[in-house]
Amino acid sequence: MFPDVYVAADVPVDHLLFCRAASLYVGRDAVVSGLSALAVLGVDQLPLGEPAVEISVARSVYATRNPRISVVRSAVDVADIVKRASTPVTSGVRTGFDLARRLPLSSAVAAVDGLTHRHLATVDQIRAYALAHPAGDCCRQIARVLSLVDPASESPMESHTRVLLIVGGLPRPESQVEVLDSNGALIGRLDLAYRRIKLGLEYDGDHHRSTDVFRRDVARLNALRTAGWEIVRVTADDIYRTPVKFVGEVRRLIVERAGAMRRAA
């Protein structure tokens, strides 16, 4: 896997194994950090392909260069290290702090959403850590990220959608909203929703393409419409290719449905 670091040929190789191997290769002062630490902690938001393992070491530590390893010169206190499969990894709080100050806004929020959703850190813990470890110009970015975090969010694309709407000037939607029928039975949970005007947003990933999931989705959407809800189906294209158009469409629906609610009252 790396010079003098081997694994049996029948062992499945994934990023987590590469993290362990990279830690052994760099040496005992190496700590897996960043998005690699996030993945080891159970929140996989790694980019597609074969991303390099991020390793943090103190400035005084020599680290041999390797294209599969991204070395960050940053000392990590012992109190900020946890062990996963005998591999030193930055704690949930330290990982959240690092990613909140380094990633683009939406990606940073998605990362911290994942940490808080899995109870690996809280917003208050990361905020307290940031106050105790001032990061210069990054302090404003960290504060902005933490103000947008929602531990109820269950996927990165839900996080990206929520951040896009808020940054676009729209009201903050609720995450994972349960909708009940007239008998109090659960119709379903919406990824994001404006409860008062009964406007929901559902992210459609590839898993929605299977026949069984599609049929369940249709039945659920019909039940939601019967209950007076309008649902916006969100795709990756909406978020990454036509964000202005998407935000404009949601804004139009908010105005229309708010007006209809007022007239009905």
Domain with 74, as residue range(s), is: 15-148
What pLDDT score does 78 carry? 95
**pLDDT at residue 11 is higher than 60:** yes
Q: How far apart are CA 40 and CA 22, in angstroms?
A: 13
**pLDDT at residue 6 is higher than 90:** yes
What pLDDT score does 137 carry? 74
CB 261 within 8 A of CB 254: no
User: Do 250 and 214 reside in the same domain of the chain?
Assistant: yes
Burial 71-106 (b: 16+ CB within 10 A, else e): beeeebeeebbbeeeebbbbbbbbbbbbbbbbbeeb
User: Do 45 and 114 reside in the same domain of the chain?
Assistant: yes
**pLDDT at residue 212 is higher than 70:** no
Q: How far apart are CA 170 and CA 237, in angstroms?
A: 19
Q: What's the pTM value of the predicted model, to 2 decimals?
A: 0.93
Among candidate residues 124, 148, 172, the one where a domain is terminated:
148
User: Do 133 and 163 reside in the same domain of the chain?
Assistant: no
Mean local confidence (pLDDT), 188-212: 83
Mean local confidence (pLDDT), 243-259: 97
Mean local confidence (pLDDT), 134-142: 84
How many domains are there within the chain?
2
User: Do 100 and 163 reside in the same domain of the chain?
Assistant: no
- In angstroms, the Cα distances linking 146 to 71, 99, 129 are 26, 11, 12
What pLDDT score does 31 carry? 97
